[in-house]
Structure 1
Amino acid sequence: MSQQTDSLAVALFSEIFTIDQLAHNRLSKALPKGMEMSQFSVLNHLARLNEERTPAQLAQAFHLTRGAMSNTLSKLEWAGHVHIRPDWDDARRKFVSISPSGRAAREAAIAAVSPIIADVVAEIGPERVRAALPVLRELRERLGAE
């Protein structure tokens, strides 16, 4: 790889990491009291899938350890946002689903963060954001193909 390509790669990933940190901090502050970004992410994922997942499947989807996912699921279960039930065929496994309370919490979180995201997109311009999406998707796909 050339020096120019290396510099371009470093600049690109520096921007991505900084954007991730800034977005995380800004959106975390806007979330309903007591909700963490990790919890919102899991609720959003379960709501979009609209079907049960095992903790292991969720950990894999978020590229987390099972322990980290277990911690997030415990907090969500304590808040009443997810139901965790045993697998009737294999007592060692569990299944997680979003509860009605979890759906309401997700909707409240989306309502809280949507104006922030919409303002940023409006300031940048929808056309420019739309043009950036294919490159970002390809980056995600290539990084996710481990």
Structure 2
Amino acid sequence: MTDQHNSLAISLFSEIFMADQLARNRLGKALPKGMELSHFSVLNHLMHVSSERSPAQLAKAFSVTRGAMTNTLSKLEAAGHVHIRPDWDDARRKFVAISPSGRRACEAALTAIAPAVASVVGDIGSDKVRSILPVLRELRVRLAEN
């Protein structure tokens, strides 16, 4: 890779890391009291999948350790936002599903963060955001492959 490509790559990832940090900070402040970004992320994911997920599947989807996912799921279960049940075929495994309370909490979180997200998209412009989404998706897919 040439110095020019190295510089471009470093600039790209520096911008992504900074944008990620700023977005997490903004969304974290907008979430309802007591909800963490990790809680919202898991609830939002479960809202959009059609079946239960194992803690291992969730950990893989979020690129976190099983221990970190277990911690998040324990907090969500204590709040009544998820149901965790044993796998009837293999008692060592568990399955996680979002509860009605979790759906309501996720919807409340989406309502709370919508203005912050919409204002950024509005400031940048919908056309610019639409144009960058395919590049960001391809970047995510390529990073996930490695």
**TM-score computed with the length of structure 1 as normaliser:** 0.99
Q: How far apart, in 2, do the equivalents of 1:50 and 1:117 lie? A: 26
> 1:13 maps to what in 2?
13
Q: Report the 3-state secondary structure (helix = DSSP H, G, I; strand = E; otherwise coil) of the residue aligned with 1:53.
A: coil
Q: Are 2:30 and 1:30 aligned? A: yes
% of aligned pairs identical?
70
Deviation at 1:33, TM superposition (A): 0.4
User: Per the alignment, in what secondary structure is the counterpart of residue 91 of structure 1?
Assistant: coil
Deviation at 1:51, TM superposition (A): 1.5
Secondary structure of the 1:52 match is coil
* Deviation of 1:38 (Å): 0.4
For 1:15, give the aligned amino acid: E
| 1:83-122 correspondence to structure 2 within 5 Å | 83-122=83-122
Which letter does structure 1 place at the counterpart of 2:85? R
Q: Which amino acid aligns with 1:94?
A: K
Cα deviations by residue, 1:16-50 (Å, 9 ceiling, x for unpaired): 00000000011000000000000000000000003
Unaligned runs of 5+ in 1: none
* SS in structure 2 at match of 1:97: strand
- Name the amino acid aligned to 2:57: Q
Q: Output aligned runs, 1:45-124, within 5 Å.
A: 45-124=45-124
Instruction: Report the Cα distance in structure 2 between the residues aligned to 1:6 and 1:89, rounded to whole angstroms.
Output: 50
Distance 2:50 2:141 in 1: 23
Cα-Cα RMSD: 0.6
Report the 3-state secondary structure (helix = DSSP H, G, I; strand = E; otherwise coil) of the residue aligned with 1:96. strand
What 5-or-longer segments of structure 2 have no aligned partner? none
1:32 aligned counterpart, secondary structure: coil
Runs of 4+ in 1 over 3 A off after TM superposition: none
CA–CA separation in structure 2 for the residues paired with 1:2 and 1:81: 50
Letter matched to residue 68 of structure 1: A
* Counterpart for residue 140 of structure 1: 140
Greater shift, 48-57 or 103-112, is seen at: 48-57
TM-score by length of 2: 0.99
